[in-house]
Structure 1
């Protein structure tokens, strides 16, 4: 296999230094202001950020918290489900979605995903519903909404809650057929997000938030995130210590103003990848659900596997890219139902064939707002060289 020379600047999977460079003076200014004010917990920037994010998300109630995993746990806590209640989750997702249920004594129940969009398959969800089901957690994976219309209908039909894990799709929208257009994260009883630095809207540390259209639930979530209290030292509920600190909120306020611009840049990069990678045998570019916009938290290929007993072609491509100094990441290499921590659930290989196949065949390429067109061209040319040589 020939090598592919790099005539451009080094390529990074995520380049926060380059992304922050044009706005570094603004980040520095709010950091200095927060240091001078000295209100590092529940300072004014926290509520200001919540209000501004609410406006961006069509005026839902926003409850900031410490991180995205806490947000999922708090969302489930707000449902007040008894131990042993089943929570349907995607079979192909990051472990935090299952973890949040498991630590509360709830039972994660995987349902397979669609092979085209990688998102939760409503038919698989319906098959997994039982009288013990208390909630469905839908993950808008890689930046594209799952089928919110079908999942909302299923949740309502069976009297269960819908929670949206929107850590990867902030700003995406879903338009129901002959119906409204929804912002991702605002359709379920609770939506959750993460501000982990790699996210489309990332802090400079940990952070998270919850969304809801129910004012009473928003109040309850605020209590749960603050030791179960509204008034200091008066604890109405068992809660968590899960607060977004003031410095992160101040920095996120700056970055939120640039999120729409960064989203458009990600979409342009994805379109360039599409054009450059189209038509390569055995290499499949991301499929779009036409009802959803895609904010491209990840740009994820599917690499066909020739046969089960052959060397994994996805891994061969990743190794080739590494030789060319081009980073790539497998999200995710092992499905959660086969993780040792979840062996107690009793699932076996073969039960979720789509998720298991995706774990063997997906590969995410670099995508971030600072990626140049030249760098995209280099990455795509390397993929094409590997696939056609």
Structure 2
């Protein structure tokens, strides 16, 4: 009996020596020369959990948690402990295996890198470590894994380097808020292909839609069926109708009701007539008009301010007579569509004895014939 007790005491003494050594030195597993506090010469396993419910609260038994749910999720971190039980250095890895977002919340008033929460985008991961602090402090810090991540909005992240590129896995709206978005430099912008096609050596933008119709759409309010994109002298393009034959019976008459503008006893100019031309698109227009005026010597004219005359008769006799020519044609260019008032004037105080008399009576119509 005494001999067995002696052996037990020796065994306990050896164990105590080993435990004391482990507390003050390095511990090796599969190695006799550990170089760190714990030196493991082999693989390491930690708990792996997969969850699909939300919200989820991380516990002391979690290490790696993967989310496989069907909606946006909320993960809550445990509150820090002050004193005994403090878990400074505890690490969590959270992997989002869905197309939804995970919001990770710190326990108030604690923070994660100074923020109350962080977001894990679709198909991304986050690693956290506990700082041992509590209260209104950064109780948790994020750890960069250094791996390459592809953001859902087409950004690629490698460590601390964020680059344009990657897969665009969701709709992305760039709101300029009144600011200009510029792409400058000597390169090109290629849409639909990443190879410059033949003939596009000097092009700054190339749109390649293969063999599918409808590679580009431009809407500015001037578009219409059969219209073509037409440039002005500054290169500003708008939609306008194609060439129209002036003799295709597509004539449009003036709008409004004509009021005799020649009743003043003096020379007049810029007098409203009550009529106008509604021009549907920019371009060249053929205009025809006619009016019979019985008057003494005078010059009478109808015109569109800034565009030109649509009808003018010059004094050819000092006696009352029908003013000639009664039927007239004009070719005028309108730079923009819109409604154009027809104005009138005369050169002296002669008041016509008759206006809009004889044959023909007043008429005014027009047709577009060229862009």
With normalisation by structure 1, the TM-score equals 0.19
Greater percentage in helix: 1
* CA radius of gyration, larger in: 2
With normalisation by structure 2, the TM-score equals 0.20
Greater relative CO, 1 or 2 (CA 8 Å, sep 6+): 1
Greater percentage in strand: 2
